[in-house]
Structure 1
């Protein structure tokens, strides 16, 4: 009887899951009446004013009111949720706060489809692309059948013009302030997501390229792993030595934050030349790995190799945890006690209330204590702003491992949030020479912290809201732009095709010349600071 009940329960659970996926997907194609869309606009604005501490940082309050009122006036007919998204995201873009965002709705997969697509590879897996202005070009085609020449322009994906994707979606990607590097960088890496948004997950797509003036069409297919029956082979017995090696690999992967998807570590130290006094520390994100342990290992290695020139690669580092960035910072400067300036929130309860939106219901008793603590830790400062007086990170390091040699930092539009904050602090201390392009995050800080997500009641679009204004230890007068490089270098299509790293090559060349440009620029900067 118990077994029968269990099967009945599982059957009903699976049926409900299937129905809920079908209901969710059906909503995407359902038109929402205009009066309900207007209520969603009001709902979104109410949440923004309730939780966001710097809504008027880049846009005056009266202009913001006007934009929301104007949007409501344009809502005169029923719209599907994602059509509503297209009309709504320009307001979020105008806020110029990259962490505060509204999301389109993607179709969900049912259990059968999840199983079907598990471990499969996208039809685009063999291709890499590069956008230049409003055109996209092929960088590499790794497929073995009739590969397309690098540099060919991609003009259609099935029947979707790539220019259509650019015009419709590019502006939906925005960083902090007025800079455009974040938009260019992220759209370059994620534009294929909008193909999925337009037509769902597909087993095959037809790509149309222009090779010179000649159109070339190529069909490309999703690939699936071989069935277990065909890949069964007699595996050799694992030796004790191999087990020890595997264990060491697992420990390193856990410590350094290994990602199976990218087959790369979150933090990785390498030596690009035969000269071991030159090292590159690539930090892909500030999210993964055992940060205390790994940074101690990294800087012990740097000390043992007597590194004189360290290259910190923060390109495409979209940020993560403040504590992670603070630990790295602590190994690069003598005084690392401060990493953030004032932490500003919207009001005394906004930070604590956002906890309830992020954590599950069973944690509410603990959250009640946490929100109470943040309430009493928030007070108005001399600028009449609500300041949150709780530390976001503590660091404790072996000060003998602090790196004091030459420091180059590679940045680009994908250097955002926490990676922009650490870059700003290093530049404020004149500790590093920056190579690349302007960071996607504002030099003066970002509104992030806890980022609750809210579901608009009728369209079911989701929005995220930054709740804490986090700034570097000092600010500069110019607002709305990121950390500027001392040496601007923007990779070209040719660089990508030839797998050339122009930023790193420039740095290695400057090191060969006894850090000529590095020394000249930092000496001038030190003179100005003093």
Structure 2
């Protein structure tokens, strides 16, 4: 017993030392020579791994940007000072899945436990960005001074515009899309702020609400025992299966990821909201939902993928099979070489206890990966198996008319299925240009590169995934058939004019607007 306690104590001490050593590097400047080595290393890795590096930027232009960056490195920089310089260059590739990650401060086990007992600071709210301004979009906990519609003017005495000007260059979308950044920045700026200024217990805010200026502090509150018990009971109740749903409840957002409703009394219209293509419980949800649709009098299906950032390629392919009545090829996958997928993050998400088994099966993985790639016209593609194979439509496929709701935060998998449905003239799209590109994206599998000196992490997508369509070559997102961009006031007032427009079209049998 004493030996176990001794080993446990040594492990804890070792862990604390490791955290301390890691965090000390945050404040140690890196020499100019080593920073330039990291720039060259990043450039080489992108050329080696990325299957469509010069899709939106020429080789000459990207080479010039990397070379120019090296000339600006005149003095030693701390890791995250270097991050602020390198991240905007990587964003110039204009590939939404490609992003550099700052050097993250590590927390001790005690610090993690303490945070688990507390509520968030800025992360408790949803925000909306209007040009250089930040507004509170949601305040679920009804925190004082943070009413919906409150404009944040300064944080920690820093003007919001200065923060957005700093963070905007490192947020990119697919291609020359212009709609994604405002949504992405609204989600990510609190994280950038925390990475820069640390995990704060409180922060000073200057804000304006209904033309009244106010200054106050947001505090990180403790979670009371009563609140913890109440939340657990609510989550337990909500995660129970309900009619038309599966156990697909997201405890963080306090909502179901997928939902099917019939908004009209006669059930001729079905509304399916999908918040994320996570893959979890998806097969059961679609099987149950489309069985229900088959028995219902529904003539119209509204598929809402607004604010859906994507996820599982397998899920959207499965969903698509419920929306068509003919065999189809859904996507193609291209890689840089026969061996590129071997560099994917194989052990990254394997639990510690399972890693010995993963190590034993690794040779089989290498063989299977190599065999899954074929060479065709001097390019390398994933073979037509699994997700990339020919697929039959589902027996319970929906035969009625389909509307798809999209916006600038419809990204990755959401853009792929929207693009495919539009190209095949199977759906009528309403909303705004998607954040993900019409002609595909680079994702699927990743190889995470750690820069040798700054230790910044750069996950690089290895597969060019493209819908099986006639490409538009616009280098933009999926364009709606009927564009409707909500105003700031409509967003804050929770007015859904896009959905209302579709419902009115259906009520008026307004098919004449379709192209």
TM-score, length basis structure 2 = 0.91
User: What is the Cα-based RMSD across aligned positions, in Å?
Assistant: 2.8
Are the aligned partners of 2:447 and 2:459 in contact in 1 as well (CA < 8 Å)? yes
Residues 99 and 290 from structure 1, CA distance in 2 versus in 1: closer, same or farther, beyond 3 angstroms? same
1:318 Cα shift? 1.2
Counterpart of 2:422? 427
1:247 Cα shift? 11
Establish whether residue 466 from structure 1 lines up as the match of residue 456 from structure 2. Answer: no
Cα distance in 1 for partners of 2:228, 2:168 equals 43
Establish whether residue 457 from structure 1 lines up as the match of residue 455 from structure 2. Answer: no
Residues 291 and 214 from structure 1, CA distance in 2 versus in 1: closer, same or farther, beyond 3 angstroms? closer
Are the aligned partners of 2:238 and 2:249 in contact in 1 as well (CA < 8 Å)? no
Counterpart of 1:157? 155
Cα distance in 1 for partners of 2:110, 2:151 equals 36
Cα distance in 2 for partners of 1:287, 1:97 equals 21
Structure 2: which 5+ residue stretches go unaligned? Answer: none
1:521 Cα shift? 4.2
1:159 Cα shift? 2.0
Counterpart of 2:320? 329
Counterpart of 1:192? 190
Cα distance in 2 for partners of 1:256, 1:396 equals 27
Establish whether residue 181 from structure 1 lines up as the match of residue 179 from structure 2. Answer: yes
1:227 Cα shift? 4.0
1:248 Cα shift? 8.0
Counterpart of 1:15? 13
Deviations 1:182-206 (A, max 9, x none): 1111112222112212222222222
Are the aligned partners of 2:305 and 2:410 in contact in 1 as well (CA < 8 Å)? yes
Cα distance in 1 for partners of 2:50, 2:501 equals 41
Are the aligned partners of 1:141 and 1:147 in contact in 2 as well (CA < 8 Å)? no
SS at match of 1:399: coil
Deviations 1:197-232 (A, max 9, x none): 22222222221113466531122222222247x999
1:478 Cα shift? 2.4
Establish whether residue 122 from structure 1 lines up as the match of residue 120 from structure 2. Answer: yes
TM-score, length basis structure 1 = 0.88
Cα distance in 2 for partners of 1:374, 1:288 equals 22
Counterpart of 1:481? 476
Counterpart of 2:83? 85
1:150 Cα shift? 4.5
Cα distance in 2 for partners of 1:232, 1:102 equals 39
Counterpart of 1:241? none
Residues 284 and 50 from structure 1, CA distance in 2 versus in 1: closer, same or farther, beyond 3 angstroms? same
Cα distance in 2 for partners of 1:322, 1:155 equals 40
Match of 2:67 among 49, 57, 69: 69
Cα distance in 2 for partners of 1:116, 1:405 equals 53
Cα distance in 1 for partners of 2:370, 2:61 equals 31
Question: After the TM superposition, which of the residue ranges 22-31 and 163-172 deviates more from structure 2?
Answer: 22-31
1:475 Cα shift? 3.2
SS at match of 2:429: strand
Residues 143 and 331 from structure 1, CA distance in 2 versus in 1: closer, same or farther, beyond 3 angstroms? closer
1:290 Cα shift? 2.5
Deviations 1:293-327 (A, max 9, x none): 22110111222222112110111111111110001
Cα distance in 1 for partners of 2:204, 2:84 equals 26
1:460 Cα shift? 1.1
Pairs within 5 Å for 1:338-487:
338-341=329-332, 343-356=333-346, 358=348, 362=356, 363-382=358-377, 384-393=378-387, 399-487=394-482
1:405 Cα shift? 0.9
Residues 104 and 145 from structure 1, CA distance in 2 versus in 1: closer, same or farther, beyond 3 angstroms? closer
Cα distance in 2 for partners of 1:283, 1:344 equals 28
Deviations 1:220-254 (A, max 9, x none): 222222247x9999xxxx9xxxxxx9698169999
Are the aligned partners of 2:405 and 2:498 in contact in 1 as well (CA < 8 Å)? yes
Q: Report how many aligned residue pairs link the two structures.
A: 506
Residues 93 and 398 from structure 1, CA distance in 2 versus in 1: closer, same or farther, beyond 3 angstroms? closer
Question: After the TM superposition, which of the residue ranges 197-206 and 211-220 deviates more from structure 2?
Answer: 211-220
Question: After the TM superposition, which of the residue ranges 363-372 and 468-477 deviates more from structure 2?
Answer: 363-372
Cα distance in 1 for partners of 2:84, 2:165 equals 11
Cα distance in 2 for partners of 1:371, 1:252 equals 44
Counterpart of 1:313? 304
Question: After the TM superposition, which of the residue ranges 415-424 and 131-140 deviates more from structure 2?
Answer: 131-140
Match of 2:487 among 482, 485, 492: 492
Structure 1: which 5+ residue stretches go unaligned? Answer: 239-244, 525-530
Are the aligned partners of 2:202 and 2:217 in contact in 1 as well (CA < 8 Å)? yes
Question: After the TM superposition, which of the residue ranges 352-361 and 318-327 deviates more from structure 2?
Answer: 352-361
Cα distance in 2 for partners of 1:8, 1:332 equals 61
